Structure 1
């Protein structure tokens, strides 16, 4: 049994961290877009607009029921063959689109549950003072739902960061892609993958700490 090459592992850390901004960029843009789309889908699921509601149900079912990797391949390799205008799609763009659509389907259900969890008296009080449906959602319902949904949405962001590791299958050199290249050139596969695993672990733990602080701050107004 050979000893671990610690010098290689230490030297690999700054190489992997050099691709951290790209990983965070894909996750952050994907999160923002998924949150916006997920909120719109959730509001529609609550409103149940005819025809549109059936389309949204199919959308959510498809993106929750198929693997993210398959969806990434579909956007990057499949659709350009049917739609030539998508042939210029880069691996980063395909990854962001895949993350957005995949996680928006999950966020939509979480936000919908949070909206429906708002006490009925809040809806009735909003209607009593003459608020329109849009005003009610924007000023009363969504702010309260956001507090309930925030921990789950933060968990999705953490999952999204880990899911960016699939981008290397589209030729994107992010943290996982850089690790794969270093492992292939050095044949030190165990050292390479244990280092990137530790980097992801530390990153997730840091975000989990932020999540706990966020939950504490959001719940301050509701604790006695």
Structure 2
């Protein structure tokens, strides 16, 4: 018989009153927005940035997850050089604030990347086969995506590393005895078990990235925060504007958190069968 999760028995009878309270507040705010011409106008303008916020978050998280998994595998490599490189990367990137990283990638990294691309393509450019790449060709939105991807990849790498190391070594040895290759062991044995440990902190990083995506407004990217900033600076309705901005972010993050919690519970039940 599989023992119950330590939190399951104490929380089975707990009614989610916090969720009821949030739902009541959300409905009340929705009624206020619908019944006020000012709030409707603010919501219409600010909500135009929802698409950019979601796009930046999804792209940034996708690339951060892929890069983080690669860094984690390097950290677990049998080669000391790869382990040292991975450790150097995670320690340096985790020590730099996301806002500083945004400025650095946007105004230092992007010009350097464009210069490198032009250097590689210099034979074609000299022959007149193509035009040199300009810094403005790399949009501010993509610079923000690159910065978020790099910034979060270091944290996600540690999540993957801890999750992979949580798998019982005896099962890995058994997979070796069955003749599975390193790739097959990871795909068939390690990752399916590690994902149950990885998912909760990975979901937390996704929620955090939604909130940190608001920092891209400092680059002029037209996300929710930037649209609110533009409207508030012109109308001087700061209370109404930033109340709507906070409301939209809360809807996005709480909705995502509830979805991730349900997925986590489903994976936990699957693992106990």
Note if 1:26 corresponds to 2:75. no
User: Aligned residue pairs: how many?
Assistant: 220
Q: Which runs of 5+ in 2 are unaligned?
A: 1-35, 116-133
Pick aligned residue for 2:241 from 187, 192, 205: 192
Shift of residue 165 of structure 1? Answer: 0.5
Task: Describe the SS at the equivalent of 1:38.
Answer: helix
Residue of structure 2 in register with 1:131 after alignment: 180
1:11-160 equivalences in 2 (<5 Å) = 11-85=41-115, 87-88=135-136, 89-160=138-209
Residue of structure 2 in register with 1:3 after alignment: none
Note if 1:165 corresponds to 2:195. no
| C-alpha distance in 2 between matches for 1:15 and 1:7 | 12
Note if 1:214 corresponds to 2:214. no
Relative to the length of structure 1, the TM-score reads 0.92
Shift of residue 7 of structure 1? Answer: 3.1
Q: Which runs of 5+ in 1 are unaligned?
A: 1-5
Residue of structure 2 in register with 1:175 after alignment: 224
Bigger CA drift: 85-94 or 96-105? Answer: 85-94
| C-alpha distance in 2 between matches for 1:139 and 1:30 | 27
Shift of residue 83 of structure 1? Answer: 5.0
Note if 1:9 corresponds to 2:39. yes
Shift of residue 135 of structure 1? Answer: 1.2
| C-alpha distance in 1 between matches for 2:78 and 2:233 | 52
Cα deviation per residue 1:136-190 (whole Å; 9 max; x = unaligned)? 1111101211111011111111111111111111111110000000000001112
| Alpha-carbon distance change, 149 to 71 in structure 1, aligned in 2, over 3 angstroms | same
Bigger CA drift: 45-54 or 90-99? Answer: 45-54
Bigger CA drift: 204-213 or 83-92? Answer: 83-92
* Structure exhibiting the larger radius of gyration computed from Cα positions: 2
Residue of structure 1 in register with 2:126 after alignment: none
